[in-house]
Amino acid sequence: FHENANITKDTKETNAMFATCLLCEGGGGGASSGDKDATIAATAGDIKEKLPAAYDMEQAAISYPVLWEQSMNTVLCQELARFNNLTNAMKKSLVEVEKAVRGIVVMSGPLEALGDSLVYGAIPAMWKAKSYPSFKPLAGYVTDLLERLNFLNEWLCEKPPSTYWISAFFFQHAFMTASKQNYSRAETIPIDAIGLQFEMLPSSSYAKPPALGVYVYGFFFEGARWDKKQKKILESEPKVLFTTAPLMWFQPKRTVQIRHPPSYLCPVYKTGDRRGILATTGHSTNFILDIYVPSDVPEAHWVQRGVAMLSQLDD
């Protein structure tokens, strides 16, 4: 195994130990309860202040109507609705926990759990039910959420981006399906006969979108790294567990026309947990897709290394 495997193992064991310590933490009381209430109120107020107003869904429907030739409009409106659902739930719960701390309403079990999460810096359970998968600490989760909201807001208020931050989506499968559907309708080809050709691009940004397909970024390699000069994946450098994947071109083509160079079929996950639940849509809640990444060594080598790509890190 690669020497980084020991670092990964030790990190997971340490995180598991700290998680167990938090579970053993008592409710507290006495002189410390005032400090805890102050922390809850301050954290709740800070997060509530940072959250922007909900997206105007009526304006979104006008600016990006349902069109036969542009399925991305539907994807955007669906994503805006999902984020509105999440941020509204966050705002409501933060207001309620502030009232509970001041004694205006009863501190119920869910609100107490929310307060504990704010104190310990963890994502509250009532937010996870409305949220995209994430194992970040609370501060990292809020920062990541605000960046996603800003990405979608720029798309809504200005124009579709030339390169898409694929990590920003709740449901990446809809985004990829929309890309194929645009091609399917333009060329009058059944969507079941269309696949994606993957190309690793040399530049990190492009001013204009491609004529066909989409440019995407936001993935991270775990267990390997991308070499721009050699245009292939190589072994990870010592003590570097994650590296940024290159900007990619997802190009829809007829499945029979797709040809891949010598490659490693790299699985892509939303989180480092690398496991999920099969949803009613038929998709995993964590697995996104497999991407062919150029490589000059047998695929079994990277399988043994456990190489995968992630759409977000856990920090």
Predicted confidence at residue 141, as pLDDT, reads 96
Predicted confidence at residue 265, as pLDDT, reads 95
Predicted confidence at residue 31, as pLDDT, reads 41
Does residue 16 or residue 189 have the better pLDDT?
189
Task: Write down the pTM of the prediction.
Answer: 0.89
pLDDT at residue 26 is higher than 60: no
Percent of the chain with pLDDT over 70: 95
Planar angle of CA 253, 255, 260, nearest 5 degrees? 85
Would you place residue 277 in the very low, low, confident or very high pLDDT band (cuts 50, 70, 90)?
Answer: confident
Q: For the segment 122-144, what is each residue's pLDDT rounded down to a tens digit?
A: 999 999 999 999 999 999 999 99
The CA dihedral of 149, 200, 298, 254, to the nearest 10 degrees, is 90
Q: For the segment 29-67, what is each residue's pLDDT rounded down to a tens digit?
A: 444 567 888 999 999 999 999 999 999 999 999 999 999
Q: For the segment 161-203, what is each residue's pLDDT rounded down to a tens digit?
A: 999 999 999 999 999 999 999 999 999 999 999 999 999 999 9
Predicted confidence at residue 308, as pLDDT, reads 94
Residue type, 35: D
Predicted confidence at residue 200, as pLDDT, reads 95
pLDDT at residue 295 is higher than 90: yes
Secondary structure of the chain as H, E, C letters: CCCHHHHHHHHHHHHHHHHHHHHHCCCCCCCHHHHHHHHHHHHHHHHHHHCCCCCCHHHHHHHCCCCCCCCHHHHHHHHHHHHHHHHHHHHHHHHHHHHHHHCCCCCCHHHHHHHHHHHHCCCCHHHHCCCCCCCCCHHHHHHHHHHHHHHHHHHHHCCCCCEEEHHHCCCHHHHHHHHHHHHHHHHCCCHHHEEEEEEECCCCCCCCCCCCCEEEECCEEECEEEECCCCEEEECCCCCCEEECCCEEEEEEEHHHCCCCCEEEEEEECCCCCCCCECCCCCECCEEEEEEEECCCCHHHHHHHCCEEECCCCC
Predicted confidence at residue 215, as pLDDT, reads 97
Q: Exposed (0-12), middle (13-18) or buried (19+): which is 97, by Cβ within 10 Å?
A: buried
Tell me the mean pLDDT in the region 6-25.
77
pLDDT at residue 223 is higher than 60: yes
Predicted confidence at residue 233, as pLDDT, reads 95
pLDDT at residue 249 is higher than 70: yes
Would you place residue 220 in the very low, low, confident or very high pLDDT band (cuts 50, 70, 90)?
Answer: very high
Mean residue pLDDT across the chain: 90
Predicted confidence at residue 260, as pLDDT, reads 87
**CA 105 vs CA 36, 90, 96: distances in Å:** 17, 17, 8
Other CB atoms closer than 10 Å to residue 298's CB: what's the count? Answer: 11
Predicted confidence at residue 1, as pLDDT, reads 60
Rounded CA-CA distance 173/294 in Å is: 23
Q: How far is CA 149 from the centre of its chain?
A: 12
Would you place residue 21 in the very low, low, confident or very high pLDDT band (cuts 50, 70, 90)?
Answer: confident
Rounded CA-CA distance 206/68 in Å is: 26
Would you place residue 280 in the very low, low, confident or very high pLDDT band (cuts 50, 70, 90)?
Answer: low
pLDDT at residue 309 is higher than 50: yes
Does residue 27 or residue 93 have the better pLDDT?
93
The candidate with the shortest Cα–Cα distance to 145, out of 93, 86, 89, 95, is 86
Tell me the mean pLDDT in the region 68-92.
95
Q: How far is CA 119 from the centre of its chain?
A: 24
Predicted confidence at residue 107, as pLDDT, reads 87
